[in-house]
């Protein structure tokens, strides 16, 4: 079992729709969770962090965390073509020094 799993996609949504990206992780002791966005040929950039169960909203982005289910998700409301990128789920391992990335989900937003 991979430590951090994501559906590789591609996930295609029409402009204005909600894009839902999912991630599961295997280390039950993980405490910190992040979503990074990576445009083709560019470096990853942090878009959301979440540490507690529940939802965290920032603009059009909502991160959801369920530690019991070892599941974290990212919702993008009113998706725009500029949201088209690969979204990487990242989890800090127990102990706190190692970040484990998922393989990423490619998102396409069709105009």
Partner 1 sequence: DTAVSQTPKYLVTQMGNDKSIKCEQNLGHDTMYWYKQDSKKFLKIMFSYNNKELIINETVPNRFSPKSPDKAHLNLHINSLELGDSAVYFCASSQGGAMIYEQYFGPGTRLTVT
**Which residues are at the interface with partner 1 (CB under 8 A)?**
31-32, 34, 38, 42-46, 49, 51, 86, 88, 90, 92, 96-101, 103-104
| Beta strand ranges found along 1-111 (DSSP E) | 4-6, 11-14, 19-25, 32-38, 45-50, 54-58, 61-66, 71-76, 85-92, 99-101, 105-110
Nearer Cβ to partner 1, position 45 or 55?
45
Structure tokens at 96: 């706190």
CB of 28 to partner 1, least distance (A): 15
Please report how close the Cβ of residue 15 comes to partner 1 at its closest, in angstroms: 24
Taking the complex as a whole, the smallest distance from the CB of residue 70 to partner 1 amounts, in Å, to 17
Considering the complex, state which of residue 24 and residue 44 has its C-beta at the smaller distance from partner 1: 44
Helix (H/G/I), strand (E/B), else coil: 109 = strand
Comparison of 25 and 34: residue with beta carbon closer to partner 1: 34
| Residue among 76 and 87 whose Cβ is closer to partner 1 | 87
Assigned token pair, 47 = 């878009």
């Amino acid at each position: 079992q991979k430590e951090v799993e994501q559906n590789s996609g591609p996930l295609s949504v029409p402009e204005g729709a909600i894009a839902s990206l999912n991630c599961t992780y295997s280390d039950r002791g993980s405490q910190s969770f992040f979503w990074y966005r990576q445009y083709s040929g560019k470096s990853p950039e942090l878009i959301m962090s979440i540490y507690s169960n529940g939802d965290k909203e920032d603009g059009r982005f909502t991160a959801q965390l369920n530690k019991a289910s070892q599941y974290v998700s990212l919702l993008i409301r009113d998706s725009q073509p500029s949201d088209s990128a690969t979204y990487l789920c990242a989890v800090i391992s127990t102990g706190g020094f190692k970040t484990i990335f998922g393989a990423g989900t490619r998102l396409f937003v069709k105009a």
